[in-house]
Amino acid sequence: MARLHSSRFKKDIRIKPDAKPEPKAPRPCASPNCAESATHRLPRGPNRLNEHLWFCLEHARAHNEQWDYFKGMSEKDIESFRNDAITGHRPTWPLGKRAARVRNGEDAYRYYDHFGLMGDVTEKPHVRPPERRLTRPQLVALEALNLEPSATLLEIKARYKELVKRFHPDANGGDRGAEERLKQVIKAYGVLRASGMT
């Protein structure tokens, strides 16, 4: 089998170092009786936005000053255009109102709206809160506050306030046992705060 050499199929293109591209002829201004070169591209009209005219700077300014996209449109048409511009002139449907397409008596495009965003779900699924993984110091701190590992932020704060009031020296007449218990409560709450639980 003969081997094909890629060099046979490549075109040998060499550019001379002193070769310069030929300058393009200046485009004439679209305004009648204007000898200036056209440097600005502008649309022909509101219904012909993909067709363009080329003008010099002076005539481009004049064209823009007299340009009115909504010329000839009724107030209703202008309001409709403004509303459609919010969505980029793409079709939209209100939530919960879009009818499902049916093919041979069955849903052709079935979707499940578990969170009731479309407004047609009768019962909401049970969503379990994420399980919290606790470290050993956090468990010890919760135990010091007489709380379960599943205690919420509000329960932790309420228990802390309750225990501080109960074991404060002013409430116990200087009892040393209550003072030690207060230190444990404050330390446990500090551990929970440092770990981001409160």
Domain ranges within the chain, ordered by starting residue: 40-86, 136-194
- Tell me the three state secondary structure of residue 147: coil
pLDDT exceeds 50 at position 119: yes
Residue 187's pLDDT is: 92
DSSP per residue over 30-42, as a string? SSTT--SBP-EEE
Give the chain's mean pLDDT: 76
Percent of the chain with pLDDT over 70: 68
User: Is 164 in contact with 187 (CB distance < 8 Å)?
Assistant: no
Residue 4's pLDDT is: 53
Residue 100's pLDDT is: 45
Per-residue pLDDT band for 114 (boundaries 50, 70, 90) equals low
Write the burial class of residue 118 (CB in 10 Å: 0-12 exposed, 13-18 middle, 19+ buried): middle
pLDDT exceeds 60 at position 7: no
Contacts of 178 (CB under 8 A, 6+ apart): 166, 167, 168, 169, 171, 172
Structure tokens belonging to residue 22:
């030929």
pLDDT exceeds 70 at position 29: yes
Half-sphere exposure of 161 (CA within 13 A, CB side): 7
Rounded Cα distance between 40 and 43, Å, is 10
Rounded Cα distance between 118 and 18, Å, is 69
Residue 102's pLDDT is: 45
Rounded Cα distance between 189 and 108, Å, is 57
Determine phi and psi for 54, rounding to 5 degrees: -115, 130
Per-residue pLDDT band for 64 (boundaries 50, 70, 90) equals confident
pLDDT exceeds 60 at position 161: yes
**Domain spanning 136-194 has what CATH number?**
1.10.287.110
Residue 159's pLDDT is: 92
Residue 118's pLDDT is: 64
Structure tokens belonging to residue 139:
């468990």
